[in-house]
């Protein structure tokens, strides 16, 4: 049976193409066909909603840096900390405190061969050298050997002076001894088997090498102005002022060649201790001499206080810079 239909003119309904979701001009998302018809999405489906504008960044919040740039900043800041630590180390070594190694047995048993001591370079800017101090000094212009003359090349001479100032290199020979006599003192041996200073016998049992005599006999020596009479604690094995009477100063060493005062043994750990002035040098009669008034109270002035200031080992300066710099570096990284 044939279906009947109206043979008159027929108009197909006109349909509008469906526009894809999103901003005008954007391309169809995955899943849409060429006319924009895609899978059915209900009104409650978030994916079927038109997305709004992108969120705005808080102007007070810094933009996140790329990972590569963060790493570059980290290493740059770490390098700054290392350079600052090295500079602090050199400054401390040049002007405040320096480590010296004991090369001989002349100061036994106070100082053993191989011990490392801290030498305070600052203390004598605040007080005079005191009897009983253990000092490090150069043999220049006294015991020798004298350093060779400076180079004729100005650049080389300047470079040598810089290295010598910061303690990295030196052409001079250094010694470590105990101060017995100050400028103007009369030192002699022996009265009652003891060394005397201005006629006052010294009781040296607390620091002399066991079994050593205080000294072989020698005539009274008046210490020249600007010089110091020094002796080792191991009197039987110490090449000191007694053996250099034919040198400039009559065996005494120039005060201006003193590097500083040894005040602390830092190595080995079993030897860790300070180096105080022995009690025998506190006798009131000693301070009545020509140089006595200048050193009254020297055991305290520039002693504990200045030693505490200068007791920053060379490595401690770098560690201090690291302790101060690490939190700053971490904070910078966290903010980044």
Supply the DSSP string of 198-255, one letter for each residue.
TTEEP--TTTSPTT--S---EEEEEPPTTEEEEE-SSGGG---GGG-TTSTTTT-EEG
pLDDT tens digits, 118-135: 999 999 999 999 999 999
Tell me the percentage of the chain whose pLDDT exceeds 90.
Answer: 43
Confidence of residue 90 (pLDDT cuts 50, 70, 90): low
pLDDT exceeds cutoff 90 at 266 = yes
pLDDT at 28 exceeding the cut of 70: no
- Mean local confidence (pLDDT), 184-190: 96
Closest CA to 181 of 123, 144, 221, 232: 221
Prediction pTM value: 0.64
Closest CA to 175 of 247, 127, 225: 247
Q: Which among 264, 278, 275 has a CA at the least distance from the CA of 309?
A: 264
Find how far residue 96's CA is from the centre of its chain: 10
| 3 state DSSP class of 104 | coil
Which listed residue (106, 138, 238, 241) is catalytic? 106
Of the pLDDT bands very low, low, confident and very high (cuts 50, 70, 90), residue 281 is very high
Burial class (CB in 10 A: 0-12, 13-18, 19+), 286: buried
* Residues 178/107, Cβ–Cβ less than 8 Å: yes
pLDDT surpassing 70 at residue 253:
yes
Two tokens at 101?
């190694």
State residue 212's pLDDT score. Answer: 95
Active site residue 7: no
The one catalytic residue among 93, 121, 177, 194: 177
194 is catalytic: no
pLDDT at 307 over 80: no
255: number of Cβ within 10 Å: 18
Share the mean pLDDT of the chain: 74
Comparing 124 with 5, which gets the higher pLDDT? 124
């Amino acid at each position: 049976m044939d279906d009947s239909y109206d043979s008159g003119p027929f108009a197909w309904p006109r349909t509008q193409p469906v526009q894809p979701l999103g901003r005008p001009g954007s391309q169809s998302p995955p899943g849409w066909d060429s006319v924009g018809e895609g899978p059915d999405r209900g009104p409650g489906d978030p994916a079927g909603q038109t997305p709004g504008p992108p969120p705005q960044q808080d102007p007070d919040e810094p933009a996140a840096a790329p990972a590569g740039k963060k790493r570059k900043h980290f290493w740059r800041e770490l390098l700054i900390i290392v350079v600052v630590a090295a500079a602090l180390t050199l400054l401390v070594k040049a002007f405040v405190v320096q480590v010296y190694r004991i090369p001989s047995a002349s100061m036994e048993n106070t100082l053993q061969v191989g011990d490392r001591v801290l030498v305070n370079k600052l203390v004598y800017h605040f007080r005079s050298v005191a009897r009983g101090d253990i000092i490090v000094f150069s043999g220049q212009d006294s015991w020798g050997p004298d350093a060779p003359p400076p180079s004729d090349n100005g650049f080389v001479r300047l470079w040598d002076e810089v290295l010598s100032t910061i303690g990295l290199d030196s052409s001079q020979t250094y010694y470590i001894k105990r101060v017995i006599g100050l400028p103007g003192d009369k030192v002699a041996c022996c009265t009652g088997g003891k060394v005397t200073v201005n006629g006052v016998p010294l009781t040296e049992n607390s620091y002399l090498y066991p079994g050593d005599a205080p000294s072989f006999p020698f005539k009274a020596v008046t210490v020249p102005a600007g010089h110091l009479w020094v002796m080792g604690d191991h009197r039987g094995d110490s090449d000191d002022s007694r053996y250099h009477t034919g040198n400039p100063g009559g065996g005494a060493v120039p005060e201006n060649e003193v590097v500083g005062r040894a005040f602390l043994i830092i190595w080995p750990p079993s030897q860790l201790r300070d180096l105080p002035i022995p009690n025998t040098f506190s006798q009131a009669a000693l301070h009545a001499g020509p140089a006595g008034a200048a050193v009254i109270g020297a055991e305290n002035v520039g002693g504990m206080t200045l030693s505490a200031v200068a007791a920053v080992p060379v490595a401690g300066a770098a560690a201090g810079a690291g302790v101060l710099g690490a939190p700053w570096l971490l904070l910078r990284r966290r903010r980044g």
